[in-house]
């Protein structure tokens, strides 16, 4: 065997060892990669938001108790347009909503009972209680 081919063999063997070593390190790193799943703490929203639904020309609920300044979602389920409008002008007003329309109103920031009505149908009445 010539010294040249001997050297070539040694170099070849070294390359193989290095490649194998690299491969082993890589595969070891892979297998030791922590596979702990990220904690999936899904907290279901338990709090139901205050809401008023208008259906069959009625408020549901007709009397709603909320906290000061609480947001209230108003949804109209009738084809006829309805609103949640404070009897005392300017306190709150969802404005007239079409079918399946939703609007958020904000409860007054002072304690009290606030009667409201539907602008196009003033006979539909409800009461908002802020406590
Ligand atoms: Cu109405």
pLDDT, tens digit, for every residue of 91-123? Answer: 999 999 999 999 999 999 999 999 999 999 999
3 in any annotated domain: yes
> Does residue 108 lie in a domain region?
yes
For residue 76, the CA-to-ligand 1 centroid distance in Å is 9
37, part of any domain: no
Segment 27-37 shows an average pLDDT of 52
- What is the CA 120 to chain-centroid distance, rounded? 33
- pLDDT at residue 72, rounded to an integer: 98
Q: Which residues surround ligand 1, an ion (CB under 5 A)?
A: 82, 118, 120-121
Euclidean distance between CA atoms 24 and 104, whole angstroms: 61
Mean pLDDT of the chain: 81
| Sheet order of strands, 51-55 included | 58-60, 51-55, 71-76, 102-106
pTM of the predicted structure, to 2 decimals: 0.65
Examine the pLDDT at 9 and tell me if it is beyond 80: no
Domain that holds residue 26: 1-30
Do 69 and 24 share a structural domain? no
**pLDDT given for residue 28 in this prediction:** 55
Residue 84 and residue 121 in contact, taking contact as beta carbons nearer than 8 Å: no
Tally the domains of the chain: 2
Do 71 and 122 lie in one domain? The reply is yes
Question: If you measure from the C-alpha of residue 16 to the centroid of ligand 1, how many angstroms do you get, rounded to a whole number?
Answer: 84
Residue 72 inside a domain? The answer is yes
Whether residues 72 and 124 share a domain: the answer is yes
Q: How far is the CA of 84 from the centre of ligand 1 (A)?
A: 8
Same-domain pairing of 55 and 115: yes
Same domain, 80 and 119: yes
């Amino acid at each position: 065997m010539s010294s040249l081919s001997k050297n070539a063999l040694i170099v070849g063997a070294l390359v193989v060892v290095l490649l194998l070593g690299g491969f082993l390190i890589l595969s070891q790193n892979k297998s030791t990669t922590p596979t702990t799943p990220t904690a999936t703490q899904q907290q279901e929203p338990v709090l139901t938001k205050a809401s008023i639904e208008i259906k069959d020309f009625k408020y549901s609920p007709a009397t709603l108790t909320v906290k000061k300044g609480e947001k209230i979602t108003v949804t109209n389920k009738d084809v006829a347009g309805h609103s949640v409008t404070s009897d005392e002008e300017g306190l709150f007003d969802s404005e007239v909503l079409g079918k399946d329309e939703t609007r958020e109103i904000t409860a007054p920031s002072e304690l009290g009972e606030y009667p409201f009505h539907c602008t196009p149908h003033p006979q539909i009445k409800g009461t908002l209680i802020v406590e």
